[in-house]
Structure 1
Amino acid sequence: MDTLGALALATEPPTDKLMKRSPVGRREPLITNIMWRNLFVQALYQVAILLIFNFGGKSILHLKNETLEHAEKVKNTFVFNTFVFCQIFNEFNARKPDEINILRGVTKSPLFMAIIGTTFLLQVLIVEFLGKLTSTVRLDPKLWLVSVAIALVSWPLAVLGKLIPVPEIPLGVYLARIFCRRSSR
């Protein structure tokens, strides 16, 4: 799935803003501070949600009446499904790391949309029809909806995250300064 996501982002046509930007030097960090901010926001959300459902999912998803084995499989499938959908929705965020409107121009990239659609379709096939091969079980429509709704939260969360200011100094340089000060004391 990550390969499809990387391919989707790599096929995104360049914007006029990007084409007018000066080239980035070889020594510049590959991951910008804006990317780090977005990464931290999404990672904190996804790790928190997935850990909550991994350790409390049987109770939260009301699986107490199921057999222990089946409840565990449903919970694990739900966590997996939610994770993949979080990645799908976050691909839209990654297209425009410094813009609020992540959907602008998305239809101008049919290859991006085809890859997103393929990822979505593969996820449905994996969960619904390839259970023996992938150790998943079918989810009922309610769990599908909850899974997608949790993943959809990444969009407003990305908007809120973009309101957090980022320093001009690259994160690596900034952290090096902090650690050098501490080690020299």
Structure 2
Amino acid sequence: AEGEPLVTNIMWRNLFIQALYQIAVLLVFNFDGKRIFQLHNESREHADKIKNTFVFNAFVFCQIFNEFNARKPEEKNVFGGVTSNRLFMGIVGITTVLQILIIEFLGKFFGTVRLGWKLWLLSVAIGAVSWPLAYVGKSIPVPARPFQDYLKHCCAWRRPRRRDEEQGGKS
């Protein structure tokens, strides 16, 4: 409807929860991944490539799994009717296949290296955490008043007045 925000409070809540999760997890692996994966026997360059490929892969799987959450931002059961939406299933399928191709076969073009099955499994598991996280997050109530309204009052942006307006339009 007219005047309603494009991003609702429910969407903001869901976005905030997923963003916090993804930022926290991916930063941990980005800054401590070489130690976590015990890559001390690898050359520094190869260890960095493994870590960076893993972070990229985990990030993409976070997005793939979160696509299901975004379909139904207000409902806890995000799987209802998912298989009847062929376009959605096609997008998820193509994204997943492209990700596998990029990591496993197109490393020269994308600067990635092949990952072992344990790192693949961990990437997918990190993405899958978004489902229970979203389920629990949807229990957090949101106010009826749009978040943008709160920002308007506390962060009132005022455009600078022009000199001729200050003088009552006289030049």
TM superposition score normalised by structure 2:
0.89
Provide the residue aligned with 2:18 in structure 1.
Answer: 42
Letter in 2 for 1:172: Q
Q: Equivalents in 2 of 1:153, 1:65: separation in Å?
A: 30
Q: CA RMSD in A?
A: 0.9
Greater fraction of residues in helix:
1
Residue 117, structure 1, aligned to residue 90, structure 2: no
Which has more radius of gyration? Answer: 2
What does residue range 63-142 of structure 1 map to in structure 2 within 5 Å?
A: 63-142=39-118
Q: Deviations over 1:25-74 (max 9, x none)?
A: 1x211000000000000000000111000000001112111111100000
The alignment status of 1:57 with 2:39, answered yes or no, reads: no
Counting aligned pairs with the same residue, the percent is 65
Cα displacement (A) at 1:155: 0.4
The letter for the 2-side match of 1:104 is G
Could you tell me which amino acid in structure 1 is paired with residue 136 of structure 2?
L
Q: Amino acid of the residue matched to residue 72 of structure 1? A: D
CA distance in 2, matches of 1:108, 1:121: 20
**Which runs of 4 or more aligned residues in structure 1 lie more than 4 Å from their structure 2 counterparts after TM superposition?**
none
In structure 1, C-alpha distance between the alignment counterparts of 2:130 and 2:41, rounded to whole Å: 31
Shift of 1:177: 2.7
Mapped partners of 1:79, 1:56: distance in 2 = 11
Alpha-carbon deviations, 1:83-119, whole Å to 9, x = none? 0000000000000000000011101101211110000
Shift of 1:174: 1.8
Question: Counterpart of 1:10?
Answer: none
Q: Residue type of the partner of 2:75?
A: E
| 3-state SS of 2:64 partner | helix
Distance, in Å, in 2 between the alignment partners of 1:69 and 1:98 is 44
Question: Amino acid of the residue matched to residue 83 of structure 1?
Answer: F
Structure 1 residues 9-20: aligned runs within 5 Å: none
Query: Are 1:167 and 2:143 counterparts?
Result: yes
